């Protein structure tokens, strides 16, 4: 009798093991495979609708009154936004914009540069120039502020904070900086940059 009970117990245990193998085991493998598929697929690409929305926000920069809020909205899709922002860059004719002046076409490019700084955690490029700055006060101020951030090369633009005046680099320096942004995005690989968090104005606005 004891032998029969023992045999039944062993058979029951074997049935449980087989059931476990065929059900839980298969389920576990299915979960593992699904997880690997998700990892292999990478981040979900932006839909056509999302891309259109981001492109529309990029186009508003410099023309809108809420540029800072637009930049923060672009930070939700930093890689796509960076790509579209770089596409907007081109040399501009203006040398200086006073606080009282309204130059939205030029401001659009300047705000694209600001947005790129913001989205990439403060990344910025500079360029060299063959331009000879004049001796007027306006030219001396322009040279001073354009060299202020990088010291040995010029920013695309720079602001005199207390006056709100913006100084813009000569065209040859602008072109170098635009090309640096384009080359950076083309070879950067995966987008590993994090937007700035509560930055001070000197980190991206000036």
2 pLDDT higher than 50: no
Distance CA 70, CA 59 (A): 10
Pair (30, 96) in one structural domain: no
The chain-wide mean pLDDT, for the chain, equals 84
Residues 29 and 68 occupy one common structural domain: no
| pLDDT bracket for residue 48 (50, 70, 90) | confident
112 and 189 part of one domain: yes
The answer to whether residue 180 scores a pLDDT higher than 90 is yes
Residues 6+ apart with CB under 8 A from 145: 158, 159, 160, 167
Residues 89 and 176 in one domain: yes
Same domain, 31 and 53: no
Neighbour-count burial of 154, counting CB atoms closer than 10 A to its CB (0-12 exposed, 13-18 middle, 19+ buried): buried
pLDDT of 3 strictly over 90: no
Domain limits for position 12: 1-42
Q: Report how many domains make up the chain.
A: 2
Does 154 lie in the same domain as 57?
Answer: yes
Does 123 lie in the same domain as 27? no
143 shares a domain with 77? yes
Q: Stretch 63-91: mean pLDDT, rounded?
A: 95
DSSP 3-state percent helix, strand, coil across the chain (nearest 5): 55, 5, 35
Task: Return d(Cα 138, Cα 154) in angstroms, integer.
Answer: 16
| pLDDT higher than threshold 90 for residue 38 | no
| pTM score | 0.76
Residues of the chain with pLDDT > 90: what percent? 69
17 band by pLDDT with thresholds 50, 70 and 90: low
- The SS3 of residue 67 is helix
Residue 41 pLDDT class (50, 70, 90 cuts): very low
Residue where the block lists tokens 């203006």? 94
């Amino acid at each position: 009798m004891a032998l029969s009970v023992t045999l039944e117990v062993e058979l029951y245990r074997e049935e449980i093991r087989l059931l476990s193998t065929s059900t839980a085991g298969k389920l576990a493998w299915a979960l593992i495979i699904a997880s690997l598929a998700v990892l292999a697929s990478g981040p979900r690409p932006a839909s056509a609708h999302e891309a259109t929305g981001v492109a529309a926000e990029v186009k508003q920069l410099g023309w809108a009154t809420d540029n800072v809020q637009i930049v923060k909205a672009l930070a939700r899709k930093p890689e796509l936004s960076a790509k579209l922002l770089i596409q907007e860059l081109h040399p501009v004719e203006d040398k200086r914009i006073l606080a009282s002046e309204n130059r939205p076409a030029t401001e659009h490019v300047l705000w694209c540069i600001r947005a790129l700084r913001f989205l990439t955690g403060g990344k910025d490029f500079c360029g060299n120039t063959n331009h000879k700055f004049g001796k007027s006060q306006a030219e001396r101020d322009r040279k001073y502020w354009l060299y202020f951030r990088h010291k040995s090369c010029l920013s695309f633009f720079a602001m005199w904070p207390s006056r709100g005046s913006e100084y813009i680099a000569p065209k040859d320096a602008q072109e170098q900086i635009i090309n640096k942004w384009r080359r950076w995005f083309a070879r950067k690989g995966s987008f590993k940059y994090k937007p700035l968090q509560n930055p001070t104005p000197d980190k991206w606005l000036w």
